[in-house]
Amino acid sequence: MTDSPREKFIVPIGPQHPALKEPGNFEFTVDGEIVTDAAVRLGFVHRGIEKACETRNYTQDLYLLERVCGICSHIHATAFVLGVEKLAGVQAPPRAEAIRVLAAELERIHSHFLWLGVAAHEAGFDTLFMYTWRDREVVMDLLESLSGSRVHYSVNVLGGVKIDLSQKISDQIKKEMDFLEERTHYYMKVVTTDDTFIGRTRGIGKLSKERAELLGGVGPTVRASGVKRDVRVIAPYSGYKDFSIQVITDDEGDLEARFVVRIKELLEAYRFIRVVLDQLPPGELTTRIKRKIPEGEVISRVEAPRGELFYFIQSNGTEMPARVKVRTPSLCNWGTITDVAVGHKLADMPMLLVGIDPCFSCNDRMVEIKSQSTPSHIMSWESLRKYGIEYYK
Residues lying near other proteins in the complex (CB under 8 A) are found at: 39-43, 46, 48, 50-51, 54, 86, 213-217, 234-235, 296-299, 301, 308, 310, 312, 314, 323, 325, 327, 331-332, 334-336, 339
Nearest distance, CB of residue 304 and other proteins, angstroms: 14
User: Of 88 and 106, which CB lies nearer to other proteins in the complex structure?
Assistant: 88
Q: What is the 3-state secondary structure (H, E, C) of 122-183?
A: HCCCHHHHHHHHHHHHHHHHHHHHHHCCCCCCCCEECCEECCCCCHHHHHHHHHHHHHHHHH
* Cα angle 352-46-381, degrees, rounded to a multiple of 5: 35
User: Of 26 and 131, which CB lies nearer to other proteins in the complex structure?
Assistant: 26
User: Of 13 and 260, which CB lies nearer to other proteins in the complex structure?
Assistant: 13
Residue 220 contacts residue 306 (beta carbons within 8 Å)? yes
**Dist. CA 251–CA 262, nearest whole Å:** 14
User: Of 336 and 361, which CB lies nearer to other proteins in the complex structure?
Assistant: 336
User: Of 7 and 210, which CB lies nearer to other proteins in the complex structure?
Assistant: 210
Nearest distance, CB of residue 233 and other proteins, angstroms: 10
Nearest distance, CB of residue 188 and other proteins, angstroms: 30
Nearest distance, CB of residue 322 and other proteins, angstroms: 8
Nearest distance, CB of residue 323 and other proteins, angstroms: 6
Q: Which residues contact 294 (CB under 8 A, 6 or more apart)?
A: 87, 88, 89, 315, 317
Nearest distance, CB of residue 112 and other proteins, angstroms: 23
CB neighbours of residue 371 within 10 Å: 12
Residue 245 contacts residue 104 (beta carbons within 8 Å)? no
Minimal CA–CA distance to 65: which of 360, 326, 329? 326
Q: Which residues of 182-191 are buried (b: 16+ CB within 10 A; e: fewer)?
A: ebbeebbebb
User: Of 124 and 217, which CB lies nearer to other proteins in the complex structure?
Assistant: 217
